Amino acid sequence: MARQSTHPTKPNPEKSPRRDPTASGHRDASVNRIASHNYFLLEKFEAGVALTGTEVKSIRNGRANLKDAYGLIKDGELWLLNCHISPYEHGSYSNHAALRTRKLLMHREEIRKLIGKTQQKGLTLIPTRMYFKDGKVKIELALAKGKQLWDKRETERRRTADKEAREAVARGRARS
């Protein structure tokens, strides 16, 4: 029989939803910054990832790297290759391999659309960011076309010109 408490207890205070900005979805777990430098990002898609528990904990600690990763469609399934998720430091014998191939979860119709688009010459799937949404790890995949060296130079010129124009406008406003 349960024993009744003689003194009143206070209910536990609510935990702040912003205590971990990565896990609550306020900050990306990992971003592939070099993707927009090396590729023209044409279209973006969201996919879930099949992960083990130690992988999720490691991602929450910010130990994921998407730099060399890419997506691949094989036998009607979507896979993520070369995504480095460091082993969880408090993990035991059940820790994961850092560079294992991970399955991406998308609806079958979306995968069919991607099959048609990736079979076009020069298009590939590049992960641009990894984030948490409703407690689940999601990956933003971009349908991308590789840039040539002259494309990269042109992009850099445009970026520099836009920055100089913004600075000139800001200086003009400061003088007024």
> pLDDT tens digits for the chain (176 residues)?
566 666 666 666 555 555 667 666 667 788 888 888 888 888 899 999 998 888 888 888 888 888 888 888 999 899 999 988 888 877 777 777 778 888 999 999 999 888 888 887 778 899 999 988 888 889 999 998 888 888 889 888 998 999 999 999 998 888 87
Count of CB atoms situated within 10 Å of the CB of 124:
16
Q: Is the dihedral of CA 109, 111, 112, 114 positive or negative?
A: positive
Strands 84-85 vs 123-133: parallel, antiparallel or unpaired:
unpaired
- SS3 percent helix, strand, coil of the chain, rounded to 5, is 30, 30, 40
The reported pLDDT for the residue numbered 166 is: 93
**In whole angstroms, what is the distance from residue 50 CA to residue 30 CA?**
17
Q: Is the dihedral of CA 99, 103, 106, 108 positive or negative?
A: positive
Query: What is 30-147's CATH number?
Result: 2.40.280.10
The reported pLDDT for the residue numbered 161 is: 94
